[in-house]
Amino acid sequence: MRPGVIDLNVATLDQYPVIKVLSKSDLTTSQLVLPRRAAEEHIISSMDAHLRERLTGEEKRTHIRVMDDAKNQDYYLTMVDRDHRYSIISWSHVLQNREFREGQRVRFGWFNEKLHFIVDDQQEEEVRKEGKESDKKDREDKEDRGAEDMSKDIMEPAKKKMKRDMAETSSLQQQHEVVDP
C-alpha cells in the first residue's frame, strides 16, 4: 500500500484526529469552521504541496474531496483560509444527506488525498446511553405520576361523593330534629 493511503476497512479513530463539536451555525449555514490548530496540524500539513500552497498562499482557497466514510459518499467542496480560520464552504451539500444534531462530535482526518469524516460513535453511544437512562427515568416518573393521577382520579370523585353523602346526612338529621320536637 502507498504511503499516506489508508485501508478504510481497518481505519481507527486515530486516523480522524480533528474533532469538531457541531454548533447551531454549523447546521444552519453553508460553511463548517474547523478547529484552527488541529486543522493546521493534522489536515493542512498532510495535504500535498499544491493544495497546501493554494490554501495558504495568495488564493486562500482550494477545492478538496470530502468523504463521508459512514455513507461512503464523496463531495467536491472548497476549503478556505480566512486569517487562519479554516472553513469548508458548501457544507450544506453534506447537511442535505445527513441528519446531524447540535453538540454532535464529528471527527476529521486527511488521508487518501481527501478529507474524511465520521460521526464519533463513542460519543454517540454515550449520548444514546444517557438518553436511554433519561428515557427510563422519565418513564418511571410518568408511571409514578400516573399512579398518583390514577389515585387522584379514583379518590377525588369518592371524596366528593362522601362529602355529598355527609351533607345529605347532616341535612336529613337537621330535618328530623325540626320535625321531632
Q: CA triplet 64, 113, 51: central angle to 5 degrees?
A: 50
Task: Give the pTM.
Answer: 0.63
Q: State how beta strands 105-111 and 85-89 pair.
A: unpaired
Instruction: Report the distance separating Cα 102 and Cα 116, nearest Å.
Output: 20
Q: Tens place of pLDDT for every residue, the chain, 181 residues? A: 444 545 555 467 889 999 999 999 999 999 999 999 999 999 999 999 999 999 999 999 999 999 999 999 999 999 999 988 999 999 999 999 999 999 999 999 999 999 999 998 665 555 555 555 656 666 666 566 655 555 566 667 767 767 776 666 666 556 555 544 4
Q: Which of 43, 63, 77, 66 is nearest to 114 (CA)?
A: 66
